[in-house]
Amino acid sequence: MLHLFTRSYTTTLLNTPKTACLQPASSSFGIRILQSKRLQPRFFHHNTFKQFPNRKPPPKSGKLTPGPATNPSKNLPSTPQPALLDILKAQGQLSQDEAPRDLSHSQRLFAPFIFTLAVCGGSYYFASTWTPPPLDARIFPALPQSVTTIAAIIAANAAVWFAWKIPLPISWRFLNRYFLCAPALPYSVGLMGSVFSHQSLTHLGLNMFALYVFGSTLCDQIGRGNFLGLYFSSGVIASFASLTHNVLRGRFHVYALGASGAVFGVLGAFTYFNPETKLTFVFLPFIALQAKYFMSGVAMLEAFGIVRGWQTIDNVAHLAGLGWGVGMAYWLEQMVKRRREREAIIAKERALKRWW
């Protein structure tokens, strides 16, 4: 899931200690929009009224009775001191800007576009050149490659989630720069880093559960090289689509993170290769729905969300990942067909040579 966060200052990240979820997460893969709460003005601080426990209101009429001499400075409310966590967040924030920098759309999107092309090209090269390692060279030879591949992705996502929970300014600054996708201050590497970031344990668990359900079968079908190429390319395509959508709409108050784009790419490829597979749901075990109908329903729901302008789910990123997964599955199928045709032609030529 990609998460969209709203901040009081557009490019100042992790600058406030409280965030509130406006809408709960969707039942499948969603993007929750979080809006930071501004701190209350100091003269309304909750400690202000605790400093006058014995103070009486003045009389409604008549003359005021002078009381004993007191020091006025003692009755003034003390200035609240920032908490240690707020100080650490302020030290780890990415930018001090109070408004988005004056950049054109092309200036914001050119470098991310080149990075997206580079990741897709690298994914293609990795998928076309990867060969299964020998059994004695594997770390866990007794486990299927699909299990170890999915487990490695889950471990990487969990490690980044734990890194977000460590209150260190250095780690926060690094994560803000390279593990978020912020339209106000875009960094190209953040398109890929945001795929490994998650806002909550529930968010992480839902994404990784969906990845295990669909990814383990798909990895066995297309191989580890093709699966990893599909996963990373789907993630960066979904992130770039989300960034482009937010930049063109001028939504510089949000930033996105989550693996839903990559997971939707896996879902699209899984459905293409297994359209008749029946899916059952944990809370509705008596309902079995074919994968092609499930994916069609999800796609129509995402398209409806774009038309209606839903703010709680990044429908553009989901549709981009889903479409890329289907397109990659079709390309892999055609590539396998062409390779088999070439192998058949070569086999016929060899048979003719033996006959002559």
Q: Which residues are catalytic?
A: 260, 318
In the three-class reduction of DSSP (H, G, I as helix; E, B as strand; rest coil), residue 277 is classed as coil
Contact 246, 184 (CB under 8 A): no
Give which of 95, 122, 124 is closest to 192, Cα–Cα: 122
Helix (H) or strand (E) holding 255: strand 254-257
Residue 254 phi, psi (nearest 5):
-125, 160
In whole angstroms, give the CA distance from residue 208 to residue 248: 31
Closest CA to 247 of 101, 96, 33, 29: 101
Long-range CB pairs of 105-114, under 8 A, 24+ apart, other chains included: 105/247, 105/248, 108/183, 108/186, 108/243, 108/247, 109/186, 109/243, 109/244, 109/247, 111/186, 111/188, 112/186, 112/188, 112/191, 112/240, 112/243, 113/240, 114/188
Size (the chain), residues: 356
**CA-wise closest residue to 161 among 116, 119, 193, 209:** 193
